[in-house]
Amino acid sequence: MPIDSADLLERFLRYVRIDTRSDAASAITPSTPGQWDLLRLLERELHGLGAQEIILTAHGYLLATIPATTPAPVPTIAWCAHVDTVAPLPGAATPIVHRRYDGRPIILPDDPAQQLSVETTPFLREAIGHDVITASGRTLLGADDKAGVAIVMGTARHLLLHPEIPHGKIRLCFNPDEEIARGMARLDLAQLGAAFAYTLDGGETGEICHETFSADAAVLEIQGIAAHPGWAKDVMVNALRLAGRFLAALPADRSPERTEGRAGFIHPLECTGTAEQARVRMILRDFELDGLAAHRATLENLVAELRAAEPRAQITLTFTEQYRNMRYWLEKDMRPVEFAREAARRTGLKPFGQPIRGGTDGSNLTQRGVPTPNLFTGMHEIHSPREWVSLQDMARSAEMLLHLAQVWGEK
């Protein structure tokens, strides 16, 4: 029997109405209370579906089991999706379902300047005839990653209703704070209890990815010298001016807005402070560790020049490892990728892979010993008010998961 698309749609519309934006400035996990609201709703729904071994941990990891229906020994796999959405756009969507999309421009009513058209929006032409879901123009839709959440829940419902489908034990994991690179930081792998996993956090239909950026964070802190501006000559050291000088010196050809494909970047996220002290937050991204090291060296050289230009300032630069390219581990055992490709083919799709210019929770899980490729959900224009997803593409993702469960049982 096919996936129940009506149920899938109802779930998605229910989830995107909850504001689950994460907050990098928060020290707790989950970083925001809205994430708890969605996690507790999912917990209730899992009980209603008849899932087993349901637990919501103190750090906001919701785990559950779909029991095996075959006596054969099959590795336990997990399906993962994150409940948070990115800041700063509002995250409580008023979703609009454009039934049987006819190819004409979609004008989002709360902000008519926000439009989607087949001429300017990649992949929208392929969704003609589909039920396309958008927000209303001033918020995120939240398809990243509530499309993944709905797909996992819809597939779990189907498997629990149809125990005649042969598969091994499947673990479900809904986690917080992926958008602030802390998605799996506090997950106990023993509680996850899976040998392999998949994140449902990809875009284009048929996409199966096993390569991501490697990522570091960097923070520059500048302590200047305060003085009354009227008598500041040869006394004041203005931290904001030094921060501005540093930002102006960043290589423009290594910025997100000027790179694509396999090129990495240095991206300043935030600059705050006063004349006395300033702080610049940055992220560094590259597919290769040598490239990431080169980005670090660039920043260190710029800081050395800044110190030489103004030795009275106290300047510190710190780096923090965030995640690493999952390819380094997955290329040693491509079974989870190959099985996903086979499942896509059984769904009638042509699977393809491309490097993700970002990271997934699978980056962390793979590095920690649970190989975790990333699978498509059909979401597009993410992190913007123009975000959209096709219900039919979500249903195909769920259908692929059904085949994936069976492929693992067969192989």
Q: Please say which residue of 322, 356, 391 terminates a domain.
A: 322
- Nearest in space to 222 (alpha carbons), one of 296, 319, 311: 311
**pLDDT tens digits, residue range 245-282?**
999 999 999 999 999 999 999 999 999 999 999 999 99
> Domain containing 392 — which CATH number?
3.40.630.10
Q: Tell me the CATH number at 227.
A: 3.30.70.360
What is the span of the domain harbouring residue 232? 215-322
Active site residues: 84, 178
**SS3 call for 39:** helix
| Separation of alpha carbons 125 and 117, rounded Å | 8
Question: Are 30 and 143 in a shared domain?
Answer: yes
pLDDT at 28: 97
pLDDT < 70 stretches in the chain: 1
Q: What are phi and psi of 189, to 5 degrees?
A: -65, -30
DSSP β-ladder status, 77-82 and 170-175:
parallel
Terminal alpha carbon distance of the chain: 23
Write down the pLDDT at residue 316.
Answer: 98
- Provide the strand spans (E) within 18-66: 52-56, 62-66
Report how many domains make up the chain: 2
Residue 49 contacts residue 143 (beta carbons within 8 Å): no
Residue 181 has a pLDDT of 86
CA–CA separation, 269 vs 302, rounded Å?
17
Q: How big, in percent rounded to 5, are the helix, strand and coil portions of the chain? A: 35, 25, 40
- The secondary structure of 240-270 as a DSSP string is HHHHHHHHHHS-GGGSGGG--TT--EEEEEE
Task: Using the 3D structure, point to which of 289, 322, 355 is the last residue of a domain.
Answer: 322
Same domain membership, residue 187 and residue 112: yes
Please tell me the predicted confidence (pLDDT) of residue 122. 87
Residue (of 39, 354, 361, 16) closest to 179 by Cα position? 361
Number of other CB atoms surrounding residue 390 within 10 Å? 27
Same domain, 239 and 318: yes
pLDDT value for 385: 96
pLDDT at 136: 97
Nearest CA among 360, 359, 358, 362 for reference residue 372? 362
Residue appearing with tokens 């106290």: 314
Whether 100 and 202 map to the same domain: the answer is yes
pLDDT the model gives residue 140: 96
- Output the CA torsion 174→176→182→187 (10° steps): -50
* pLDDT value, residue 67: 98
Q: In this structure, are 187 and 102 located in the same domain?
A: yes
What pTM value is reported for the model? 0.91
